[in-house]
Structure 1
Amino acid sequence: MFIVIKPRAFILLAVLAPCPAYAADGDFQAWTSSTVSFATSDRVTLAVEGQARWTDDASRLGQALVRPSVSLKLGKTTSAAIGYAYVFTNPVGPAESREHRLWQQLSYELGSTDGGLKVTARSRLEQRHFEGFGQTGWRLRQQVRATKPLDNKISVVAWSEVFVSVNETAWGQRKGLDRWRNAVGVNIPIKDNMTFEPVYIHQWVNRRDTDRMDHVISLALNAKF
């Protein structure tokens, strides 16, 4: 069967077209996350996500974040969400930072097949505020995700997400492509309302001097109530 893709998918695929290779530093990281969501009605869902990211060859906690949100179902395959994120970053060199991030998101389905392959997308706009600075950094995130169930109910997962900074700030945000993540893994059902998703993420980070390539093992636990 052929996948039925809506026209906006072609725009997203153009955005996610391969970029040229650059010389880059590298790091191995391990990310863990847990997300719990509660459906308060047929259309409204509350969720909270917590993440811990071990950096520098997964030897130390380099970043932690908490991200609560509320989403509204707009249609069978479309939903809108608003949320907040507190992000604590503790790099080796520069001073640690505390970020307060507001965000708005639209999630929608791009297409599916009779065999179970589904392609979805999410468009997220962020307003980034760092303690000690007055400027707001605007950033757009666009993700396209594909899932395909296997015979044993485990699903193969692949996704790509680009981060584009809309403006420049005194605290270091530069206008243009900020980073690009590509991932592949599996989604494993644990219970009717719980899944475990281990994936490998390749992350390219655009820096002022030498770009960075991160190799990430991500372990995500998701529960719905």
Structure 2
Amino acid sequence: MFRITRLVPLAFGCLVPFAAQAASEDTAVWGGLHSQFKLNDRVSATVEVQKRFNNDASRLGQYVIRPSVSYGFSPTTRGSLGYAFVQTNPPGPAKTDEHRLWQQLTYRVAAFDGGAVLNGRTRLEQRRIDGRDDMGWRLRQQLRFSKPLTPKVSGVVWSEAFWAANTTDWGQREGLERWRNSVGVSVPLTSRLTLEPGYIHQWVRRPGEDAVDHILSLSLTAQF
């Protein structure tokens, strides 16, 4: 029988290059609600709302609202256009409001015996900060593996790299910016509600000392 413990090495194998580097560490809790609305057989709309509590989960450090519209080219391939408002409130620097336009393609990479699947997600973002001139371009690439553990519960492992294409006057630096790796489970609560709790390890490149975040993630998806 496939066990969740077999997913853990896959999720954290990517972390070895970062483990030996000095980094400032934090513990965080992220809570998210994904509302999906089926408009017709091919078109759907999604609204994602997420709150991220950092500094040992003691304060709200970031708030995200991300609406989008997607089109299904096939049962396993979808294209999406979206916008994101991201308000970041770090302990030291001033609060920032970010506006993102983004384009995304999700697709099936491989399917395996027993219902296991490997999916890909490629997202291109155009980022602007209120009060600043430059626009930052960023590419995000995610691979997500899921495998049924029981008739209802699936184990989920994913890895996502963030690559900044340019340097801006508000702090984005060209190159690999951050890397998230996660292990969790997907649990259907009803026919329309799915809960996905998990652990996310996030490495963030910073001037001087890098940052590492240990994140408890709780995501609820509602389908209408």
TM above 0.5: yes
Instruction: Determine helix, strand or coil for the equivalent of 1:54.
Output: strand
Structure 1: state its 5+ residue gaps.
Answer: 1-15
1:151 and 2:150 are equivalent in the alignment: yes
Question: CA shift at 1:104, angstroms?
Answer: 0.2
Distance in 2 between residues matched to 1:36 and 1:168, nearest whole Å: 34
- Runs of 4+ aligned residues of structure 1 deviating over 6 Å after TM superposition are none
More helix as a share of residues: 2
Question: CA shift at 1:134, angstroms?
Answer: 1.3
Distance in 1 between residues matched to 2:75 and 2:217, nearest whole Å: 29
After TM superposition, list the pairs within 5 Å mapping 1:63-82 onto structure 2: 63-82=62-81
Distance in 2 between residues matched to 1:209 and 1:32, nearest whole Å: 29
1:79-120 CA-to-partner distances (Å, cap 9, x unmatched) read 100100000000001111000011000000001112011100
Instruction: Determine helix, strand or coil for the equivalent of 2:113.
Output: coil
Aligned counterpart, 1:24: 23
Aligned length: 210
Aligned counterpart, 1:88: 87
Aligned counterpart, 1:177: 176
Distance in 2 between residues matched to 1:49 and 1:40, nearest whole Å: 17
Distance in 1 between residues matched to 2:197 and 2:75, nearest whole Å: 27
Under a length normalisation based on structure 1, what TM-score does the superposition of the two structures give? 0.91
Q: Percent identity?
A: 51
Aligned counterpart, 1:210: 209
Distance in 1 between residues matched to 2:16 and 2:131, nearest whole Å: 37
After TM superposition, list the pairs within 5 Å mapping 1:1-225 onto structure 2: 19-20=17-18, 21-225=20-224
Question: CA shift at 1:57, angstroms?
Answer: 0.2
| Backbone CA RMSD of aligned residues | 1.1
1:6-37 CA-to-partner distances (Å, cap 9, x unmatched) read xxxxxxxxxx7963531101000000000001
